[in-house]
Structure formats: structure tokens, C-alpha cells
Structure 1
Amino acid sequence: MFSARTYTARRRRLAEAVSSGLILLPANGEAHMNYHGNTYPFRQDSNFRYFCGYNCPNLVLTVDAATGEGTLYGDDFTLDDIVWMGEQPQVADLAKDCSMTYGGSLEKLRSDLAKANEVHYLPPYRESRRERLRDWVGHCDQPSVPLIRGVVAQRSIKTEKEIAEMDKAVFTSMRMHAAARDTAKTGMTEASVAGLIEGIAISAGGRLAYPAIVTRNGHILHNHYHGNELKRGDLLLVDAGAETETGYAGDITRTFPIGGNLSDKQRPIYETVEMAKVQCIRALRPGVPYRDIHDLSARIITEGLKDLGLMKGDIGEAVAAGAHALFYPHGLGHMIGLDVHDMEDLGEDYVGYDNTVQRSDQFGTRNLRLGRRLQAGFTITVEPGIYFIPRLIDQWKADGLHKDFINYDALEDYRNFGGIRLEDNVVITEDNCRVLGSV
């Protein structure tokens, strides 16, 4: 946790953004794996944690939008709970330690909510949250737009203390990737590498920020299967990040060859992706639309593929038409913070776009989660990639898509190439940027 003063200031600023009514921010509850006593590892709701700090389940924070005063509700643990879990804090003590009022039990919360003229809540992403909202306020499908915008406005700009936590998360993430690179060899399974890096995340006091992608099939963008045996010459794509004890995430991707150096076919693809990453980071600064940086990455990738004879024609026209998305079907990056895709539960268009920059409907670019102008204090990912996806290649070829820009005959030699993605995390500074984990 940060200081009680930090959370008090956050709650008051949030109240100013909403201005009237009662703000409702529930914590997450435990999620049962296969029976009541066996739960998945607990993950706190990031918005509750941002405005309250606590990593305990089944609490509820309300904020009076007129005054900014916070009230904490929750049921205290029973003696039977304590027998199994050890001593647990009283909810009243938690409220006092974070400069809040103790509101009482969750049953008391129900009656207090019934008296409120207006209740603001965020979009629910768990069915248990939807059930509670229906019970407490009578509906779960009317999230408050002023509350969403107020949360996004605060959480988008990271403070120095938050950035320090991000540096810590990325530093541990880099240790994970170094261990994977130094350990992975012919005959090992992907699972062995995945287990190694998860152990490093846990040993640093946190855990993985998201399920690790460790795969020799890098063309499958979110591949969580770890059963393949590594062979000499394979490209192993590792997309994994650590989460700190305070909940802040790292999100790093590296791709490297097993048992030797990059082959003559692999090297130019790797160097193109690396060039896109480096040049895009150099272009980052406040005021620049991230959509423009994404387009820069697409041009660099298209130029590299054209040099290899895989693409052809005018580079600008190819990118404008979306031909590059055959090889690069995702966005350059996204916000990162308490969530690996920061605030995605609030809606990507609220987080990554605004009235001046609208989301594209073009294949590939429509998956860009962040397009708006960058601001000092943003923490973002930069993750270009090149992938050879056989099913996608076959479909585009059959449909005759972008024949003026794609050399389908030359692609035959790359069907089993896989994919390469490289990713760093960056903080936007007052006049430039800095790669996180580099201090």
C-alpha cells in the first residue's frame, strides 16, 4: 500500500469528477476452483485497490461524491476462518488505517444503498459482481460514464511511486526472460521454461501478471499451450511479465533461437521487428498520437518485408490499405499499470481513444488498444511483431486480397516460420520517454 493520504486524495479527486450521488467500488471475492474451500489465487479488483489499497476479498468501498469521504463495508472473519487462515484484520481497523469511515456489514451496505438517490458503479466483469449489483441496486447494465471517465483520468497518469513499482515489475520480468534465454535448450519442453519463469516471479514477492506465453509456435498470438518439445533452430517466443506485491504489472516479450544463432531466414525478420521497436520508442513523446506510432511500426515492417520480396508496391499505399496486417494483425501496444492491459475492464475506447482519435475498423489496426495522444505519466507497451499464420495466408490468397502488395508465391517458403514479437514497457516523461526497468 501507499500512504493513507494518497488514497484519500484519490477518492476526493474521483468525487470531484462524479460530483453527485454515491460511488460504489466493490472488491473482488474469492473464485472457487472446484469446491468452496479450494479457490483460485486471489486477484483484487484493480479499481478498488487503486482507491483503497487493500488486497483483501469481499470488502466494499463507497465514496460520497459530494464530499469525497470514503466508507468501508465488510463482514469480519469468523473464529472458524481464523483457525484455518490465521489472524485477520477487523474491517473497522482497515477503514481507520486508510482514513475511512467503517460502514458496517455487507447487509448494512444493502440498506444504505437503498437510501441513496443515485449510485455510480463501473462495468462488471465477473458474474458474481453482476449478481451483487442486481441485488444491491436492482440492475447491473447501467455503468456510470462519469465514473468511468473519472477513473481513467486518474489511473492513466502514473505518479513517481507508481512508476517505481512499474520499474520493479519490469526488472523482475527481465530477469525471467534472461533465465528463459539462458536455460532453454534442445529437448526441453515449453512447460519447463514456463515453470522456471513463474518461479522467478513468485520468488520476487509477486506472481505472474498474466498467464505466460511460452511457445515455439509464435504465430499463435495468445498461445498458452506448453506441451511442445524444443528443437534446434526453433524460435521460442516468450511473452511474460511479473506482478509486484502491490499489483503493478510488467509485460515483456522476447523471441530467441534454440541451440544456436538466428538462421539466414530468421535474422532479417528479427532485425525488422527490432528496428520497428527501437524506432517507435525513439518517436515517443507527449502530444504524439499513439496511432501515428503504430502506423510508423507498420511502415517499417512493410519496408522490411518488401526488401525480402514478401511484399511489393508502394509502402505507404500498402499500409493505408491494411496489407501489412497479414503479417502484423495486432496493435503496437496498450496502457499498462495495475492491469497488464490497464483498465481494459472499463472499455478500451474510454482508455485508448477520445474525441480526437477514433478506433479504426480496418483488420489489424482495429486491434490497436491505444490510439490517443500520449501524455507525461502514461506507461505503455511497444510490441511490434511479424507472424506467418498459414490459415490467414490461405484465406487472403483465396480471396485475392491485396495482390498488388503481397507476393503470395514467395510466402510458400515461410509457411512454417512461426512468429517474432519483441516488447518493452515505456513511461512517457515530460519531454521524451524512458524504457522501464532501465534504472
Structure 2
Amino acid sequence: MTLDLDALQTRHFDALENRYAEVLAAQGYDRLLIYSGRPARHFGDDQDASFQGYGHFQHWTGQAELTHSWLLVHPGRRPVCYLHAPDDFWHLPAQLPDEAWTERLEVTPGHYDEAPPSVAGGRLAVIGDVSAATSAALGAELNPPALLTALDEGRVRKSEYEIACLSEANRMAIFGHRAAREAFLAGGSELDIHLAYLQASRQRESVLPYGNIVGIGSHAAVLHYQHYDTQAPRERYSLLVDAGHRYRGYCADITRTWAGAEADPLFADLIARMHDIKQRLIAAVAPGVGFVELHERMHRLLGELLVVSELVSGSAEAAVESGITRAFCPHGLGHLLGVQVHDVAGRTACNGIPLPPPVEHPALRLTRELEAGMVVTIEPGFYFIPLLLAPLRQGTAGHEVNWPLVERLAPHGGIRIEDNVRITAQGAENLTPRIE
């Protein structure tokens, strides 16, 4: 069935207008000005860093690359987009896409290095990367915390339009992952694999939702490995690719791990078992399930994996309680996903203030109960990280670990399997197509 994106986007826009009107009225604001943001200039240079627009600006427009632009939300009136599009022969001036939402706006192109001059009157809030001087000149309140919290909460449950965009981002990312696997099996370097991903997913590097992670062998043990070797390694034990796609502002975030020609047979078996763990965790997803509880279930499953693979003696329960599983997987099970890869409002809040994650799970980005409409990543991991294994080896739990087997598998780096999952009233819908 072909989706009518225009109709879905129109309903999404209707819901945004209603939501913002309710939030502004509840907090006593007449109007809201949202700034897309400005690129950061490298110190002592005339070049800018890569840019990504402010999330709340993208929530309305889906435009991640529009700089210096503003959106004025005045309930009861058409939103106004102050589009930064100065006359320029060095760069192509910005244009809005041919999408349904643009018909709902009053578009005022111009030069907006500073805020638009015609937004005064009534109680005004301005949000985004705006200076105090600019907000003072506008007579506006800058980034009011209670307002930001309320607007963040409005992004937690996705509209049908947003689900369609996230699904398309996943579909396009899969082309990249398949090409990455083929490039690896053909003997390519990390850079070759990265370039194959970009070509197949039809993206330039500057528009990726995040920097692709492409790690061969031991590099897969670096969770956010940030380099691309230009030479292929002599031994091809494994490949980990964590890479996504952005469609109309919405992000896919997918990870796969593959065994190479020189892989230990046990490592290939571990990959298959990690796929099974991911599927079991997705099957447990449902409204009302606490994500902390789901994260702890991942650790119990990792404990079982360590025992059945003879990497750890004793029981799976002991492997969790002693901290062994955390040494093999230090990151959280997943996070909210939307116009930001790590989307907002993932932490349980008290009186509007996000609470820190549990002490024993400091890297957990999502601590809330799951609700229908959320989109989350489910990404169990299993790694051989020297920095974490060294203290484990020296501690009291170290005698439970099969260190010769760990050393045999360490050149493979690690495993991460990640899908993007929509929470439904009945349970879960996996938005990530099969790659294998």
C-alpha cells in the first residue's frame, strides 16, 4: 500500500499546531520563536563545522540543513518561516522543499543572521541556540525550562507521518548496510566500506544523522570508533557497521556485525546468538514495560550467553551480580529515536527535572516506561574491551572468566545488533527490514 505522505504530513502539522497552542496557553505565552541554529566556525579559520538544525525546528519542518532560519508560532495564525536565503553567488540560496507543510506557512525569505525584527508584542519565548543579547533585543524569554520540557514531551510519541519517515529512513539505510557487507567480504578497507555505504544509501557524508561507525576486527571494541583505515587489514576477523539515514529529518540508527573469512567459528556462533537476544528483547517490548527492566533483562541474557559459550563458569545470575556482564557490555540497551538519533525526553522525570540513570547503569539514555507511539532502538552488545576486561581480570570475579578463550576472541572486537522498533498498543513493530 502506498502511503499518502502529504495527507499524513498535513495531519502531523495539525497536531503540532494544536499541541503548541495548548502548551503556550498553559504556560502563559502568546508566541514562540524557534531558531534553526547556526554552524560553528572553526577557531582561527573561515570554515564551518558540519551543521544539524535544532530538533524542535525540525519537528515542524523536517529540515536539518536550514541555517539561520526562524519559525514563529502564533496560535490562531499561520506560522511564519523566516527563511535565511540572502542573495549570494558563493552559495545556492536555501529553498523549501515541495512538501505539504510549506503550504501552511507564510514564508518570508531574507537575511537573518540576526533575529527577524517583526516578532515583538505579547509574551514571547524564543528557543534554540540564541544569545542572551538577541533574546533581550526581542523582549523574549530565552529557553524557558518548563516550556522546553513540555515541548520535548510532545516529541516522545510519534505521529503516523513520523513513523512513515522513520520507516523510509530504515529502508534506505538497509541498502547501505548490504553494500557495506559486500565491500567487506570483497576485501575492502574501512574507508572502502564507508564509501560503499554512502553510495548505496544515496547520502553525502555531511547529511548523515551521525558519523558512520565502521570497525574491522579489534576496532569493533571501540563503541564510537571514529576513524576509517584506508588499507585493508591482513586478517579479516569481523566487521561492525553502525550507520543510519535521514529522511525528511527523521533518523534511522542500525547496527550489524558480520564474521570475516578468518573469524573463529565461535564468534560466528556468538553473532547468531546476539541476533536471538535482540529478537527476544523486541518480543518483550510493550506499553507499560519499564526500559530499565528491559535493559536488565538484556544483562541476564548476556549472562546466559557467557555461560553457554564457556566464556564464564558458574551461573548466569552470578555473572550479572558480579558485574561481569557489564564489563562485556557497558552501554545501554537503547534510546528514543526521532529527528535526533538520541531523541529528547528519554529520562524519567520528577517535577519536570530528568532523573539520572540508575547508578549501576550510568550509560542508559532511556529510563521511562514504554508507551504506544514511541520509537526506540534495541541494541544489545557484547565486546572484548581491554580497558574494562583488565580490572575484571584483577578482581574477585576474574577467576570465573575463561581468559584463554577471551584472548582468542579479542581480535574480533565485539558484536552489536541494533534495530529500530515502534511501540504499538499490541506490542512492537520492527521498522528495520532484514539485512541478512
- TM-score strictly above 0.5: yes
Structure 1 segment 20-419 matched on structure 2, within 5 A: 20-21=28-29, 22-32=31-41, 39-40=48-49, 42-54=51-63, 56-64=66-74, 70-73=79-82, 77-78=86-87, 81=88, 83-86=89-92, 97-100=103-106, 106=112, 109=116, 112=119, 117=123, 119=125, 121=127, 129-130=129-130, 132-137=131-136, 143-185=143-185, 187-202=187-202, 207-216=207-216, 217-227=219-229, 228-244=231-247, 246-259=248-261, 262-343=263-344, 350-355=345-350, 359-363=356-360, 365-398=361-394, 400=395, 402-403=397-398, 406-407=401-402, 411-419=406-414
Deviation digits for residues 42-87 of structure 1 (CA, Å, limit 9, x no counterpart): 53222112124555321122334x7576444455513xx1x34456
Q: How many residues align?
A: 414
Aligned mate of 1:10, from 16, 23, 28: 16
Contact 2:70 2:115 in 1 (8 A): no
Cα deviation, residue 249, structure 1: 1.1
Query: SS at the partner of 1:250?
Result: strand
The answer as to whether partners of 1:310 and 1:406 remain within 8 angstroms in 2 is: yes
CA deviation string 1:340-361 (max 9, x = no partner): 2123xxxxxx323245996444
Distance 1:171 1:180 in 2: 15
Q: 1:25–1:60: 8 Å Cα contact kept in structure 2?
A: yes
- Between stretches 132-141 and 381-390, larger displacement belongs to 132-141
How far, CA to CA, are the matches of 1:206 and 1:429 in structure 2? 33
Shift of 1:288: 1.0
Which is worse superposed, 385-394 or 203-212? Answer: 203-212
Contact 1:213 1:222 in 2 (8 A): yes
State the Cα deviation string for residues 351-403 of structure 1 (Å, max 9, x = none). Answer: 2324599644435x2211112111111111111111011122113333x2534
State how far apart, in whole Å, the 2-side matches of 1:158 and 1:195 are: 32
Unaligned runs of 5+ in 2: none
Alignment check: 8 A CA contact 2:237 2:411 kept: no
CA RMSD of aligned residues (A): 3.6
For structure 1, the 5+ residue unaligned runs are: 123-128, 344-349
Q: CA deviation at 1:293?
A: 1.5
Closer/same/farther in 2, CA of residues 312 and 142 from structure 1, 3 Å limit: farther
The answer (yes or no) to whether the contact 2:80–2:107 under 8 Å persists in 1 is: yes
Structure 2 residue matching 1:352: 3-state secondary structure: coil
Aligned AA for 2:294?
I
Q: Look up the SS of the partner of 1:381 in the other structure.
A: strand
Structure 1 residues 215 and 375: alpha-carbon distance in aligned structure 2, compared to 1, 3 A threshold: same
After superposition, what is the alpha-carbon deviation per residue over 1:309-341, rounded to whole angstroms, capped at 9, x for unaligned?
333444335424533110010011111111221
Letter in 2 for 1:258: G
How far does residue 437 in structure 1 lie from its aligned partner after superposition?
A: 3.9
- Give secondary structure in 2 for the equivalent of 1:196: helix
CA contact under 8 A between 1:71 and 1:103: conserved in structure 2? no
The separation in 2 between residues aligned to 1:180 and 1:88, in whole angstroms, is 32
Q: Describe the shift of the 1:168–1:149 C-alpha distance in structure 2 as closer, same or farther (beyond 3 A).
A: same
Distance in 2 separating the partners of 1:392 and 1:283: 29
Question: Contact (CA 8 Å) 2:165, 2:250: kept in 1 or not?
Answer: yes
The structural deviation recorded for 1:203 is 5.6
- Of 141-150 and 273-282, deviating more is 141-150
1:428 to 414, 423, 426: 423
Structure 2 counterpart of 1:426, which letter? V
Q: Quickly say closer, same or farther: Cα 1:352–1:401, change in 2 above 3 A.
A: farther
SS in 2 for 1:184: helix
Cα distance, 1:173 vs structure 2: 1.1
Determine the C-alpha separation between the residues in 2 that align with 1:76 and 1:277. 46
SS in 2 for 1:426: strand
**Separation in 2, partners of 1:303, 1:355:** 35
Q: Deviations over 1:8-30 (max 9, x none)?
A: 54133123124212433101224
Cα distance in 2 for residues equivalent to 1:67 and 1:285 = 37
Secondary structure of the residue aligned to 2:255 is strand
Secondary structure at 1:270 match in 2: helix
CA distance in 1, matches of 2:154, 2:253: 21
Q: What is the rounded CA distance, in whole Å, between the counterparts of 2:44 and 2:376 in structure 1?
A: 38
Task: Give the TM-score taking structure 1 as reference length.
Answer: 0.81
Matched position secondary structure for 1:25: strand
The separation in 1 between residues aligned to 2:185 and 2:140, in whole angstroms, is 50
Identify if the C-alpha distance between structure 1 residues 268 and 53 changes in structure 2 by more than 3 Å, giving closer, same or farther.
Answer: closer
Identity %: 26
